[in-house]
Structures are given as C-alpha cells and as structure tokens.
Amino acid sequence: MSDLGKIRHILCVASGKGGVGKSTTAVNLALALARSARVGVLDADIYGPSIPTLLGVSAGTRPRIRGGKKMIPIQAHGLQCNSMGFLVDQSTAMVWRAPMIISAFNQILTDTAWSDLDYLVVDLPPGTGDIQLSLSQGARVSGAIIVTTPQDLALLDARRGIEMFRKVAVPVFGVVENMNMHICRQCGHAEAIFGAGAGDRLAADFGVPVLSRPALDPAIREASDLGQPLLVSQPEHSANAAWLELAQAVAERCASKPAPSAPKITVIDD
C-alpha cells in the first residue's frame, strides 16, 4: 500500500530544459519549507539524479528496506529523501527505454515509506515526458513550479512545460526566474548577464506570478557542490532571501486550496 496518503501536498519543480538550476531550486525550496514544516524530496530524474550530491549524502548510501519492499527515506539536513542515485552507482549510465523508466519512477514514488509530510517536493527531469505524465496521473499534485533562466531559449521550453501541466490539470503556481542577476564577489556589482524581463513576460502571458528571482551567486554553486546548501551552511547569507520568498509564496498557495484529488487526463488530437 502506498504511503502517499500521508502527504498533504505534492509539489512539482519542473523545467523545459536542463541547466537552469531546477534541482538546486527544488532542494532549496524544500529546505526553506522545512523551517516550519515536515518536508520530503523525491528525485524523479532517473537518468541524471543530482539530489544525493546537492544534499551531501555519501556515495554508496542505500535506503534500508522494511518488510521486504518499502524503502526507508534517507535523512539529510532534516529532509526525507529518495532518489535513483541511492539505488545505483552514480557512474552507471541508465540505458533504459521509457517503460523501464516509468516503472522505476513509480516504484520509487509508491514504495518509499514516507512518514507524515506537509510537502513532498518532486524534482522532475527536464522536458514534458513520461515521468511528468505518470506523476500527474498517479498522484494528487497540488501544484507545479516552473524554473527558467532569463534567456529566450529557456523561456521557449518553459512555455511548453506550463502548457503540459495545464493539459493534465495540474495548477501552475508560478515561475522562478533563476540566475536573474550575476553578483560579483569582488565588488558586489549586479549584472543581468542573461537578460532581464523575460520571466515577467512569461508570467504575464500565462497569468501566473514570478515567485522568486534567485541570483547567479558563486556562493550558491559552491555550497551546492559541497552538499551543504546555503540555507544550512550559511543561513544568514543574502542569497537565501530568494528561497525563503519562494517557500512563502508556495506555502500560501497550498494553504489557500485543499489538497487535490488525482486528475482525470484526456488526450485529444490538437
């Protein structure tokens, strides 16, 4: 029997393309929410799991098995988490076809012994593929957060992500415009090296808010590489304000609506 019924809100963190900081956003959103709630993280990127590295989980760590089937979530920085990265060697190439990917994802989702959680943050793989559809069909998803950078190319893919969630009746809470500004470590000068205003245009086109604008700050990258996110290692760092702002916006959206029932998906030829 699945333990998903113990979770009040399932949140999808998604992006149209890779390299926009989606996993970093998912981890920091979870940590910010965990300041006042019970939170878990599910790494749904079967091909390229990065949550174990971002949370500083030692290589070779495996979840304990209960009752011959249920996986006990790994504890990291106060979060419950599970990932394909815990189940296979991180250097192993996952050369799987779609049915195997879907089966592996569904097993991690439903065979993890989540305890009572206020939020489960799901770090989705880039794009609009099988895992996104499988999650939307098989779980009560409260909402999706779309991560993009200010570049026009990233925005094109982010549009596809928003459209996909709307087609499967998952509310889009809003947009995170990541790497909004580059902060110079030497002088503190802020420069929009990827452009400016694109996130606002995307949000306006779809009638959703820009939830947060995290900066392109070297401290975020360094802390992530070490598995010691800024919210843990440097809680007073100015860059954390963006993650706290995001968590507050997401919590407010969840509080304003009851946990949803699983959507009925209809595929049409358009």
Residues 144-176 pLDDT 10s:
999 998 887 777 888 888 998 998 889 999 999
Q: Would the CA dihedral through 85, 87, 90, 91 be positive or negative?
A: negative
Beta-bridged to residue 183, according to DSSP, are 190
Looking at residues 234-247, what average pLDDT do you find? 96
Confidence at residue 268, expressed as pLDDT on a 0 to 100 scale: 53
> Which residue type does 107 have?
Q
Helix (H, G, I), strand (E, B) or coil at 14: strand
* 4-255: CATH architecture: 3-Layer(aba) Sandwich (3.40)
Give yes or no for residue 260 having a pLDDT over 60. no
Taking phi over 0 as left and psi of -120 to 50 as alpha, with beta for the rest, 188 belongs to: left
Helix (H, G, I), strand (E, B) or coil at 187: coil
Rounded to whole angstroms, the Cα distance separating 218 from 215 reads 9
Looking at residues 205-212, what average pLDDT do you find? 94
Hey, where are the domains in the chain?
A: 4-255
Task: Kindly tell me the burial class for residue 165, based on how many C-beta atoms sit within 10 Å of its own C-beta (0-12, 13-18, 19 or more).
Answer: buried
Could you tell me the pLDDT band of residue 186, with boundaries at 50, 70 and 90? confident
Mean pLDDT of the chain: 87
pLDDT digits (tens, 9 = 90+) for 107-137: 888 899 999 999 999 999 887 778 888 888 7
C-beta atoms surrounding 195 within 10 Å: 14
What is the token pair recorded at 29?
């959103």
Give yes or no for residue 266 having a pLDDT over 60. no
Alpha-carbon distances of 201 from 36, 60, 99, 158, 178, rounded to whole Å = 32, 44, 37, 12, 15
Looking at residues 61-82, what average pLDDT do you find? 93
Query: What's the whole-model pTM score?
Result: 0.90
Rounded to whole angstroms, the Cα distance separating 175 from 25 reads 11
Could you tell me the pLDDT band of residue 53, with boundaries at 50, 70 and 90? very high
Give yes or no for residue 265 having a pLDDT over 50. no
Looking at residues 214-222, what average pLDDT do you find? 91
Q: Percent of the chain having pLDDT more than 90?
A: 50
Task: Please report which helix (H) or strand (E) contains residue 79, including its range.
Answer: strand 79-83
pLDDT digits (tens, 9 = 90+) for 14-50: 988 888 999 999 999 999 999 999 999 999 988 888 9
